[in-house]
Amino acid sequence: MFKIGRLLFYDEYKGTRGYLKTQSRYELTRTILYFGISASLFIAGILATGNRMNLLTIVAVLGCLPACKSAIDAFMFLRYKGCTEENADQINAHMDGLQGLYDRVFTSYDINYQVAHMAIRGNTLCGFTQDEKFQEQKFYTHITNLLKKDGFKDVSVKIFLDLDKYTARLDQMKALPAEEKLTAGIMNTLNNVSL
């Protein structure tokens, strides 16, 4: 289902497969549109009055504010790549009965952490990253602090660089108690603290 106010190709929601790619396209298109509107207002003012000292110039300059904010958002999303199709297909084969999130980027003051996929079941959180330089211990500290602030204590967090080990862990997680309310709460927090 499409959201009102979004372009027609925007059908991926936060945490779904392909979200980063779709969101970066959306942000880039929106940025070009905003700058195009400002430029057209500026040109229309010059054509109408013969010089740039007019009210439409002021409106065009003010229109650059949301355009610049949109440009920053576009650069943020363009920096990151989502889960590859091959990896996503392999992960999907092991996700029956589990809740998961794709394409998560967690920001902190020191470093940004890109996690291609996360699976949550009760108080167990596992993830897979394609980033070879991923700093797991710093991420663990960062994410557990964020979860504690939302009232989720004793959450087990493990991030895998090896996809086979991750899918094996997904199969093991299916035996854990579902605790749907806890799982939904942790998923909500993870979506709120990531791009």
What's the whole-number average pLDDT of the chain? 88
Same structural domain for residues 72 and 91? Answer: no
The answer to whether residues 120 and 187 touch, using CB atoms and an 8 Å cutoff, is yes
Q: In terms of domains, do 94 and 180 share one?
A: yes
DSSP reduced 3-state for 117? strand
Average pLDDT over residues 168-180: 90
116 inside domain: yes
Q: Is residue 8 a part of any domain in this protein?
A: no
State the residue range of the domain holding 34. Answer: 19-78
Report how far apart, in Å, the C-alpha atoms of 129 and of each of 75, 79, 122, 134, 159 are. Answer: 21, 15, 21, 7, 7
Q: What is the pLDDT of residue 191?
A: 87
Q: Are residues 150 and 111 in the same domain?
A: yes
Domain boundary pick from 78, 105, 129: 78
Domain count, the chain: 2
Provide mean pLDDT across the span 41-69: 93
> What is the greatest pairwise CA distance in the chain?
74
Report pLDDT for 37: 96
Query: Do 73 and 58 share a domain, yes or no?
Result: yes
List the beta strands (DSSP E) in the chain: 99-107, 112-121, 124-128, 156-160
Q: Report how far residue 117's alpha carbon sits from residue 100's, in angstroms, rounded to the nearest whole number.
A: 7
Residue 68 has pLDDT above 90, yes or no: yes
My answer on whether 172 and 153 are in the same domain is yes
pLDDT confidence bin for 15, thresholds 50/70/90: confident
The reply to whether 96 falls in a domain is yes
pLDDT value of position 5? 47
Out of 15-29, 30-44, 92-106, 110-124, the most confident range is 30-44
pTM over 0.85: no
pLDDT category at 177 given cuts 50, 70, 90 is confident
74 with 90, same domain?
no
- Could you tell me if 96 and 63 lie in one domain? no
| Average pLDDT of span 96-102 | 89
**Residue 2: predicted pLDDT:** 41
Is the pLDDT score of 183 beyond 70?
A: yes
Residues 159 and 116 in one domain: yes
DSSP-assigned states of every residue in 156-171: EEEEES-HHHHHHHHH
Q: Of 65, 94, 80, 67, nearest to 22 (Cα)?
A: 80
**Average pLDDT, stretch 181-189?**
89
